[in-house]
Amino acid sequence: MTYTRKLALLAALVFGMGACDLELTNPNSPTEEEVITDLDGLLAVAVGMQGQYASAIDDYMVTNSLITDEWGTQTRALISYQSLLTGQNFDRSYGVVEAPWSASYSVIKSANTVLAGADQVGLGAGLRAGTVAIAKLFKAMAFGMLIQQYEKVPVVVSTEGSVPQPRAVVMDTILSLLESARSDIAGVSDADLAGFRSRVAGTGFDLRATIDAMLARYYLIAGRHADAITAANRVPLNALSVLSYPSPSRNPIENLAFQLLYVAGLKSFSTQAEAGDRRPGYWLDVTRAGPTGNPDSTLLFLRKYSTPNEPFPLYLPDEMKLIKAEAYARTNNLVEALRLVNEVRTQTSSTVDEPVAGLPPIVLATQADILAEIARQRRYELYEQGLRWEDTRRFGTAVTTVPTQPWLPIPQQECDVNPANPCG
């Protein structure tokens, strides 16, 4: 297959799919049937699927960080961004409501295309295992981002009129996909995955570790605490798995904050930190005055994600420690929970690019106090990771923050085309 043909397939299949329909009607574009029977075309979709997710990070962060207490809006911010921040004059027709929905379903549809073609193009055992596993992983992560933002979403997207499903159903879908992905590569050696890593996986991406990290994350959200601990224990803490942004692409958070001048960090993130905590200075530029806010709020420039090609970590090592700490605390193993909290608090260095607190250990005796401390540690350790909004649901607003919206509404575009949506 020629390079030009591969690019045409990638452009048509990866970037040309809408939010609700898998049918490709452009007569000059390849059909889905053509792609799933072409090896290079299928691998191009698998690569593009990762790019789709990477480019949607800003769509996921805008809602999460503005609705909670992470970001404020600069003077150039769109009215819809200001509405997320204040909770006033909010409208389901806004692009910020539709963007996470359409971006996630584009990733899901690309994953479905890869899964439909995996056994039709002669991938070979190792390449097939890795490609199938990464498709299931990114499909699960896309559903995970959806269920953190919308109260109900469809899990079947190949036909019009898909009925939105409650969180429990979507969570089961996420966990089944992740466990299946893990099973796909469980018996495959790293040597046999070499072709997958060179042809499909993005730079700096670790398939095994990311699957286990997402299992830990979503088992915790689902309340399956023992499973969350088991998965988190499998994640290596001395390496990162990242989404990369090689030129001419750029980190979408950097684009939002420094090119478009839409968002910046709320200074309260720094002023509300415990004295001596090093993490505000990791995430924000605490050494100079920030930009002007609109509406009026005191802002600081971002320090992390302030350069165009900065990678975005799919998880941070201490998220795994805090997942285990929370799971232990919720099952009344308070001694182990506090030990892990203090591991996070007292860390002063790392071999990977992650925040470190440099705080003294703390003594706490009750489950409520330990959970409140875990929520606080998650705020400072996992800033800008798209998890704060979900934390408000699990820990409660008394120890986190009060979001300006409980959920995003189903986008108006989806209400217009799908009568199955509850858009009343």
Question: Whole-angstrom Cα distance, residue 61 to residue 77?
Answer: 15
284: β partners: 302
Give me the number of domains the chain comprises: 1
83 inside domain? yes
Whole-Å CA distances, 134 to 33, 51, 354, 386:
21, 13, 24, 21
325 inside domain? no
- Residue 313 backbone dihedrals phi, psi, to 5 degrees: -75, 135
Q: Domain of 174: which CATH number? A: 1.25.40.390
The answer to whether residue 175 scores a pLDDT higher than 50 is yes
Encoding tokens for residue 127?
């390449």
By the 8 A CB rule, do 314 and 242 touch? yes
323 inside domain? no
Residue 31 one-letter amino acid: T
The answer to whether residue 284 scores a pLDDT higher than 50 is yes
- Residue 422 backbone dihedrals phi, psi, to 5 degrees: -80, 85
Residue 156 one-letter amino acid: V
What pLDDT, on the 0 to 100 scale, is given for residue 158?
66
What pLDDT, on the 0 to 100 scale, is given for residue 17?
36
User: Who has greater pLDDT, 215 or 21?
Assistant: 215
33 — pLDDT class (breaks 50, 70, 90): low
111 inside domain? yes
- Residue 398 backbone dihedrals phi, psi, to 5 degrees: -65, -30
- pLDDT tens digits, residue range 85-117? 999 999 999 999 999 999 999 999 999 999 999
CA-CA-CA-CA torsion sign (230, 234, 240, 246): negative
Nearest-CA neighbor of 388 among 56, 50, 53, 62? 62
The secondary structure element, H or E, covering residue 299 is: strand 299-300
29 — pLDDT class (breaks 50, 70, 90): low
- pLDDT tens digits, residue range 325-357? 999 999 999 999 999 999 999 999 999 999 999
182 inside domain? yes
What pLDDT, on the 0 to 100 scale, is given for residue 417?
87
By the 8 A CB rule, do 362 and 371 touch? no
403 inside domain? no
Question: Whole-angstrom Cα distance, residue 399 to residue 385?
Answer: 19
| Residue found by looking up tokens 């608090």 in the block | 345
The answer to whether residue 14 scores a pLDDT higher than 60 is no
User: Who has greater pLDDT, 6 or 318?
Assistant: 318
Give the domain range for residue 69: 3-249+311-315
222-239 average pLDDT score: 97
128 inside domain? yes
354 inside domain? no
User: Who has greater pLDDT, 394 or 26?
Assistant: 394
Per-residue b/e over 130-146, b at no fewer than 16 CB within 10 Å? bbbbbbbbbbbbbbbbb
By the 8 A CB rule, do 48 and 134 touch? no
| Whole-prediction pTM | 0.93
